[in-house]
Amino acid sequence: MRNGREGNGYKWLLLGLLTTTYFLMHATRQIFNASLPDIKASLPGTSDAEWGFTRTVFLFSYAIVVPLAGIAADMLRRKWVVIVGAFLFSVSVLGTGFVEGFIGMLVMYGLMNGIGQCMIPASASSLIAQYHHETRSTALSIYQTGLYFGIILSSGLAGWFSSLASDGWRYAFWGFGAVGIVWAVILCRFMRDTPPLLQGGRASEFERASFREACLAMVSKPTALCLTFAFGMLVFGSNCFRTFMPLFLRAGAETGGFGLDSASAALHGVLWFYLGSFIGIASGARLSDRLAHRFPAIRIDMVIYGLAISAPAMAAMVYMPNLALCCVAMFIFGIGGGIFDCALYAGLFEVIAPRYRAAGMGVYLCGAFMIGSPATAVLGYVGQHFSYQHGIALFGGTYALGALAVLFARLVFFRRDRVAT
């Protein structure tokens, strides 16, 4: 009985450790987006297209290396994959604060940060899924809120630091990088990597599969492929939003913007979206876990609902006549994003057997980030030569494409693809 209580307590401790790691991951991503106008001013002679390309390099390096992270998660202890990833991205973020030009930013933030961050999600989500069964959607949704807190907090702090001095953006990179290195040491002390005993003695379900087996498992499930495409569409649209919405809000009325200062643009560019996301993910996760036994496709349905809500809201928000209505549209956009996020991993796990989860997550993330990686380079070009207003609105259509793909899978393939639990 005692071991059961200890195991139950550890699964929530593990969730807290991994959620905080995810918080730091996305905080260090967002300080680049929030600080971009001031980075451009501090490092002159660069274009919007080049800075968009920096973000594309991050996404592309993430996509290329994440399958190797899935293999490492299957061959090594997942605890150490998470810890090494946390240490690498923290060192790269700390180093980003010292760069003096575009190439340095490309290497430290784009390449090294992408490699470090890609090591974490596959191991973290598969560990959570191992320890949480009846509470899987809730646990993975709590994990996902680390993204929300990280982006909101880092946006406010990055905007504030940028206002302190012409090179104030560097303080945010130094601060978050140092905190991340300390956190990697804390993970060494408290994380374990032993899966709990499973009811019914089904430990064989968690024997780790090869990456080749995971690829074949994904390809054999059209639902998994459609979910990967939908995730890629979300990566495409959401990275356009997070990278360039602060620039749009700072722009003048002649280009549809609202002329906000750096700190206000950085905060408004994410605050209302992620407040809506909290509501969407909390309600979606609770509903999913409650109805999963009665409605087996509920987690797939949540993906469809989330994308269908997000598409029109993203397109509309940049055409609102005032900032208040723009924030309302971002809030609705966020609700849709949160509903999607509650099923981001749980939906995939409905069609992928437990033994394929770590490597399968590598395939899932690789496919999604390969699809989404050109986003910021494309929008950087569009914004430089046309306008961010029309570009952001146009890329709202990526959410609609994702919703249609998953709806097709839901109607045609899901019943066949679903894994019995």
Of the listed ranges 54-58, 103-107, 201-205, the least confidently predicted one is: 201-205
Please compute the mean of the pLDDT values over residues 31-53 and round it to a whole number. 78
Within 10 A of 227 (CB to CB), how many other CB atoms are there? 29
Q: Which residues touch 239 (CB under 8 Å, ≥6 apart)?
A: 55, 59, 372, 375, 376
Q: State the pLDDT at residue 60.
A: 85
322-330 LR contacts (CB < 8 Å, sep 24+):
322/258, 323/249, 323/258, 323/260, 323/268, 326/258, 327/268, 327/272, 328/272, 330/272, 330/273, 330/276
Regarding predicted confidence, which is higher, 364 or 400? 400
Please compute the mean of the pLDDT values over residues 311-316 and round it to a whole number. 94
User: Crossing angle for the helix pair 222-250 and 2-42, nearest 10 degrees?
Assistant: 40
Best CA proximity match to 87, nearest among 187, 213, 199? 187
> Which tokens go with 286?
């609770």
With pLDDT > 90 as the criterion, what percentage of the chain qualifies?
34
Regarding predicted confidence, which is higher, 71 or 141? 141
Best CA proximity match to 399, nearest among 289, 240, 293, 278? 240
Q: State the pLDDT at residue 210.
A: 65
Regarding predicted confidence, which is higher, 417 or 67? 417
Regarding predicted confidence, which is higher, 211 or 245? 245
Q: Which residues touch 1 (CB under 8 Å, ≥6 apart)?
A: none
pLDDT for 1 beyond 70: no
pLDDT, tens digit, for every residue of 184-221? 999 999 998 655 333 444 444 445 566 677 788 888 99
- How far CA 409 is from CA of 64, 199, 298, 366, in Å, comes to 26, 31, 13, 20
pLDDT for 345 beyond 70: yes
Best CA proximity match to 63, nearest among 241, 228, 304? 228
> Which tokens go with 362?
């590598």
Reduced to 3 states (helix: H, G, I; strand: E, B; else coil), residue 135 is: coil
Residue-wise DSSP of 282-317: HHHHHHHHHHTTT-TTHHHHHHHHHHHHHHHHHHHH
- Contact (Cβ atoms closer than 8 angstroms) between residue 355 and residue 206: yes
Whether this model's pTM surpasses 0.75: yes
pLDDT for 420 beyond 70: no
Q: State the pLDDT at residue 255.
A: 67
Q: State the pLDDT at residue 383.
A: 67
Q: State the pLDDT at residue 254.
A: 64
CATH architecture, domain defined by 2-193+208-417: Up-down Bundle (1.20)
Please compute the mean of the pLDDT values over residues 385-399 and round it to a whole number. 83
Please compute the mean of the pLDDT values over residues 121-137 and round it to a whole number. 78
pLDDT, tens digit, for every residue of 149-187? 888 888 778 878 877 777 888 999 999 999 999 999 999
Q: What is the distance between the terminal CA atoms of the chain, rounded to a whole angstrom?
A: 25
Q: State the pLDDT at residue 52.
A: 76
> CA 192: distance to chain centroid?
24
pLDDT for 334 beyond 50: yes
> Which tokens go with 271?
């605050």
With pLDDT > 70 as the criterion, what percentage of the chain qualifies?
89
Q: State the pLDDT at residue 421.
A: 57
- Contact (Cβ atoms closer than 8 angstroms) between residue 38 and residue 165: no
Q: Could you identify the residue written with the tokens 């499930």? A: 221
Q: State the pLDDT at residue 193.
A: 62
- How far CA 41 is from CA of 32, 34, 108, 161, 229, in Å, comes to 13, 13, 19, 15, 36
